[in-house]
Amino acid sequence: MFGYHGRYLRVDVSRGKADYVTLDESVLRRFLGGSGLGVHVLLAEGAAAIDPLAPDAAIVFAFSPLVGSPLTTSAKFAVVSRSPLTERVNDSLASSGFAIAGKSCGCDAIVIVGRADKLSVLVIDDGVVDRGVDGGVRLESAEEHRGATCRDTEAALRARLGANFRIASIGPAGEHLVRYATVSHDGRHAGRGGSGAILGAKNIKAIAVRGTQRVEWAHPRAVTELSRDLSKRSLGPATAKYRELGTATNLVTFNRFGALPTRNFQSGTFEEAAALSPEQLGATRAKTRASCVACTIGCEHIYAGVRVEYESLFALGSLCGIGDADAVLQASRRCDELGLDTISTGGTIAFAMECVERGWLDQPWLKFGSADALLRAIELIASREGIGDLLAEGSRRAASVIGHDSIAIAPQVKGLEIPGYEPRALQTMALGFAVGARGADHNRSGAYEIDFSDKVDRRNVTLDAVRHAIETEDKAALMDSLIMCKFLRGVFEDFYAETAAMLHTVTGWDVSADEMRETARGIVAAKRQFNLLAGWTPAEDTLPERFLKTALPNDPVASLSRERLDALVAEYHRQRGW
């Protein structure tokens, strides 16, 4: 078999036991890797019926056929589990050397079950399982790293184990089982859905991998030629935004379109948006750029040492009513250090701020616009102290405690806090959020692209939008399984044919564009199958009542009724054949 090892490494950290489990070629061809393979393995492990924070729960670190190849942006891995935040499927992706080193351990995925008896680091040294507890797969104490930030943990473990180890770790938030804690590696994060809490529940502070086992490619020369061509195209106009400005530039654009979520979605415009623009961030701060391993785009724009992304700026800025750029950067830095998903952190804090404003929550210090309150709340959440213990549960669970029908303003779908796209102003995206397998998600549905095109009227979409939303969801599923960075999506002229060619050069499979399209749909269907087993009901495919009862105050045309959303969702299910 080319491109794969044909097996995954299953580690039971309760028993200190590791085994390889065979992956048939037919399975790999259907699910590819990353998100798709992760969901398949989860289904095989019966994870849909298990409390994600229970010892028996499985968490999958899935690699892909392209990892380790010179194809640009392919050094990525997926962390797949049942989410402790949503209790539905969760696939979060992160980048860089962990993917290459993990696959070099001789496996296409690492599955962890069980619970270590003390805080530990799982060391996978070339994945050789027959060396016993002191050999290729072992647990070492991580007690000395308890409470350490992700970055400090990574640095300390590389110093201890060897510089050629690559480390994925959790911060204090994961140790405290914050339901939206991240798994972090090299400054990147498998951010959404609480993968960090699962590792925390397993007493796993970090996973350290290094290996020497490389796969062979079916057509090495063709891989090199395709890689060269793709790298060249990755430096063209289609990725200029990411190279020159980064995603932070979205904030001012979205504000102009009245689509920038502000003060817990009470408005689509923020009067201080300009203060958070790349131009202003760069005016008085040192700026550098960086990229993931094996990436030619280099989308990371770092201001005063803080990597800035639109989603963090919106969630910790406009959503909380904060235009103080220094405070937003500090909040973003702390979330990264503590291992918190910035979107869910900002969303949950903004929700609490509105509850305080309405008199539903007695925390008078927690006010929109207060940078001190934002920073204080972040620390409390990560440590689960005071009100932080409630907010660490996410906005949906917090609403069930706060009462007062606050669930209507909890900014979440299936429990996952909504990213920075105002659903009433971007209604194809509203559909994408409503039907998303892991909840409201801009990485699994790229439907906002349709709203920013001449294909729909973004504030009054019709059923014609549904096919476009499905198309973006299918493409995302394929990219997340191959795996390639979505910032490449604009460089493809014939997405399915070109990705089929890539897969062919690596695996030798005679795959067609049509097969790739079917594979994408099959992966989306597998996520739905998982959710059905986990208890999904059609009532979950919706948006909070706020969006369906109230037009956007800054743009009354932007109105989305329950009847229209329901019709869109029904048509989505019909076209999916569900």
Chain positions contacting another protein, by CB under 8 A:
237-238, 240-242, 244-247, 249-250, 252-254, 256-258, 309-311, 421, 442, 446, 448-449, 452-454, 457, 487, 489-490
Residue 106 backbone zone (phi > 0: left; psi -120 to 50: alpha; other: beta) = left
**393 vs 417, beta carbon nearer another protein:** 417
Among 109, 207, 41, 57, smallest CA distance to 483 is for: 109
Between 213 and 453, CB nearer to another protein: 453
Where does residue 305 rank: exposed (0-12), middle (13-18), buried (19+ CB within 10 A)? exposed
User: Exposure pattern of 134-149 as b/e (b: 16+ CB <10 Å)?
Assistant: eebbbbbebeebebbb
| Smallest distance, another protein to C-beta of residue 239, A | 8
Nearest to another protein of 237, 359 (CB atom): 237
**Minimum distance from residue 233 beta carbon to another protein (Å):** 12
The least distance separating another protein from the CB of residue 490, rounded to whole angstroms, comes to 6
Task: Please give the span between the terminal C-alpha atoms of the chain, in angstroms, as a whole number.
Answer: 34
> CB of residue 279 vs another protein: minimum separation in angstroms?
8
Cβ distance to another protein smaller for residue 285 or 486: 486
Which H or E element spans position 140? strand 137-141
Residue type, 389: D
Residue 312, judged by CB atoms within 10 A of its CB (0-12, 13-18, 19+), counts as: buried
Shortest Å, Cβ 301 to another protein: 11
For residue 258, the minimal CB distance to another protein (Å) is 7
Smallest separation (angstroms) from another protein to the CB of 471: 15
Q: 161 is written with which tokens? A: 């184990």
| Among 300, 304, 282, residue whose Cα is nearest residue 291 | 300
**Residue whose CB is less far from another protein, 25 or 279:** 279
- Minimum distance from CB of 539 to another protein (Å)? 27
Helix 465-482 vs helix 427-435: angle between axes, to the nearest 10 degrees?
A: 60
* The two structure tokens encoding residue 186: 């090299």
Q: Output 394 or 420, the one with its CB closest to another protein.
A: 420
165 contacts 135 by C-beta, under 8 angstroms: no
Judge contact between 236 and 290, C-beta under 8 A: no
**For the chain, what is the radius of gyration of the CA atoms?**
22
What is the rounded CA–CA span in Å between residue 48 and residue 534? 5
3-state secondary structure of 485: coil
Residue with smaller CB distance to another protein, 10 or 76 = 76
Report in angstroms how near the CB of residue 173 gets to another protein at its nearest. Answer: 24
Query: Which residue's CB is nearer to another protein, number 184 or number 250?
Result: 250
Distance CA 35, CA 20 (A): 20
Shortest Å distance, C-beta 242 to another protein: 7
Cβ nearer to another protein, comparing 242 with 530? 242
Pick the closer one to another protein by CB: 60 or 281.
281
- Based on CB atoms, which residue is closest to another protein, 360 or 452? 452
Which of 253/363 has CB closer to another protein? Answer: 253
Q: Residue 255 CB, nearest distance to another protein (Å)? A: 10
> Least distance to another protein from the beta carbon of 245, Å?
6
CA angle (344 as vertex; 296, 300 as ends), nearest 5: 15
165-168 LR contacts (CB < 8 Å, sep 24+): 165/101, 165/123, 165/208, 165/209, 165/210, 166/96, 166/97, 166/98, 166/100, 166/101, 166/102, 166/208, 166/209, 166/210, 167/98, 167/206, 167/207, 167/208, 167/209, 168/61, 168/94, 168/98, 168/206, 168/207
Q: What angle do CA 473, 475, 477 make, to 5 degrees?
A: 70
